[in-house]
Chain A
């Protein structure tokens, strides 16, 4: 039984199959890359898995449990956490508050506790804030000094780190990273690759799906690569197999021409 498995996953947007009959499975601890030309359905695939879009056809299973029809917050509670192609931090909240939102589901006190057990609740929150900051400083210790700055005032690469930390503080089983290096320069891309490697050091059992355009990242980070084209899975395998696959080459050349 796989950690995540999709069977015939498909979605139709006004007559176009943005994701078309995709079978996919990943085991705990594996890191997969998801590539494909622009508009091939990579982000849409993640959006279906995380519950934002409803699949038109097909099923999503997590540890054998059907999660196809769960709402996003329920999917998160099952252990799937994600980042976005263009950052979705809460821009007007501080760095530490953004991290705390990541541990929202770990906060177990009730409404009456917040009012009558002030010290206990504050202590719980402080523990989680600390946990979030520890996670963030694992990537960049200097960000600790900026913990009370608003997310919108943080440099781009650090925003990515906050977003990844925010997704990790809940200790998910599966982490979905949608183009973590989008908008980064070459040097920052290398740093980000190292950071993603660090995730694995910290949480051995976590499975990661990375969407990425940068072939340098794809060559080194994932164990296996899945290629989407026009919503359909056209290839699956290790990096060297993929880059020599004629269908993949054709898809990328075709994608560039259009």
Chain B
């Protein structure tokens, strides 16, 4: 095991690991539902086993040490997955959903994971983003990108307004307030004629980029891609950008102050942290993430309706965050991707879908109460040890997130 721990630090092993992860993802995506669920369980079991011996943490450190290699090879692998998907539109579709849920979960994490504020309304914010695109394209004839930008404003402002009452409430009360907001949102969208009531709006203009249709079949290097692949790639790029923002926020004083608030509000307040401002920050930035995910969701089917963003969807997002690992960016993406794929693959089980789903969740949370990849301790580079005389004694270099 010690030898294994050492070996993961070589860039070559990192490339191999990325390839293996790519293959695992590919395998899970293309196999039949039963096989693919078996693969997921096997993968989780492997992670759990390796974690026992501290290898998961070692791998994380190794990725940090070899950031450039890890990033480039990881990107190539991620892009290779849709390449190998070729004509399979169904899988491109699942992948896009998984990626968009991951973005929404990263947003929800600012509130739930970092600040310990349960928010039962992330789907409502996705919905706001989606409806913004719907209204912008169908009522004003604007580009969906303009709708997405408008969605950022709308969700930001609503995030702020929802954040205001939560400054006064905590715990169960906060949960109730956000639940009420979620239910009010679904009810409102159901009744407002202008946005199509319970039918929603369909046939909406989808995204295009520099005049290129993102849903056409393109042929590159002799490979004919599924129609949705370009849009999937755009969504992946969004996820990468938002994951980077999440990691940065986690590492700096923004994330740390949110953690401090979660742990002890009075102490945080007495250390100069403006609690209200930071909580609002968590709500606004989180809502914007959810909103962008929702806006992009419209690009899947050109449809937006109240049922797509109801309470059940909020619960699903919450499960993804809890299962993946609160306040761990990579963990949350893993949780979102897994649960999205599982939800899709379980469709074949028809009546048993909910049962199997519930069982999986319970078992996972029993073996892993803190999620698949729990919160990690922040590491700082270049910390020097000084002895009493102020002289430097030992230099330690550690990876920084």
Contact = CB atoms under 8 A, between A and B. Distances in A.
Given A72-B270, A130-B384, A92 B263 contact: yes
Nearest to B380: A129
A203 interface: no
B14 to A, nearest CB: 21
B386 A137 contact: yes
Contacts of A75: 270
Nearest to B260: A101
Given A107-B253, A115-B248, A129-B380, A90 B266 contact: no
Contacts of A137: 385-386
A141 B387 contact: yes
Given A94-B377, A137-B385, A50 B256 contact: no
A101 B384 CA distance: 19
B84 interface: no
A145 to B, nearest CB: 9
A9 interface: no
Nearest to B281: A111
Given A90-B259, A94-B378, A148-B377, A52 B253 contact: no
Most buried by A among B267, B375, B388: B267
B245 interface: yes
Interface string B267-303: 1111111110000000000000000000000000000
A126 interface: yes
B36 interface: no
B256 A101 contact: yes
A2 interface: no
Interface in A57-104: 71-73, 75-77, 81-82, 84, 88-94, 96-97, 100-102, 104
A76 B275 CA distance: 13
A100 B379 CA distance: 12
Interface in B203-261: 244-245, 248-249, 251-254, 256-257, 259-260
B259 A93 contact: yes
- Contact residues of A: prevailing secondary structure: helix
B263 A93 contact: yes
A148 B379 contact: yes
Tier of interface size on chain B? 35 or more
A12 interface: no
Interface in A177-208: none
Interface residues of A, number: 49
Contacts of A170: 271-272
A252 interface: no
A150 interface: yes
B380 A126 contact: yes
B2 interface: no
Contacts of B274: 73
Most buried by B among A88, A89, A150: A88
A125 B259 contact: no
Contacts of A50: 270
B377 A101 contact: no
A219 interface: no
Contacts of B387: 141
A122 interface: yes
A213 interface: no
B351 interface: no
Contacts of B380: 96, 125-126, 129
Nearest to A71: B269
B400 interface: yes
Contact of A122 (B249, B268, B383, B400): B400
A165 B381 CA distance: 21
Contacts of B263: 90-93
Contact of B270 (A76, A93, A111, A150): A76
A97 B270 contact: no
A88 B267 contact: yes
A133 interface: yes
B384 to A, nearest CB: 6
A51 B267 CA distance: 12
B271 A166 contact: yes
Contact of B272 (A73, A114, A150): A73
A84 to B, nearest CB: 7
A134 interface: yes
Most buried by A among B381, B382, B383, B400: B383
B252 A104 contact: no
A38 interface: no
A54 interface: no
A97 B256 contact: yes
Given A52-B270, A170-B272, A115 B245 contact: yes
26 contacts: A51-B270, A71-B269, A72-B269, A73-B270, A76-B271, A77-B272, A88-B266, A92-B259, A92-B375, A93-B260, A94-B377, A96-B378, A101-B256, A101-B271, A104-B253, A109-B253, A115-B245, A121-B252, A126-B381, A129-B380, A130-B384, A133-B383, A141-B385, A141-B387, A150-B377, A170-B271
Given A144-B385, A148-B379, A166-B271, 14 more contacts: A76-B272, A91-B263, A93-B259, A93-B263, A96-B378, A100-B253, A100-B256, A101-B257, A107-B253, A125-B252, A129-B383, A130-B384, A137-B386, A141-B388
Interface of B: 244-245, 248-249, 251-254, 256-257, 259-260, 263-264, 266-275, 375, 377-388, 400
Identify the 5 closest CB pairs spanning chains A and B, nearest first: A90-B263, A105-B272, A88-B267, A76-B272, A72-B269
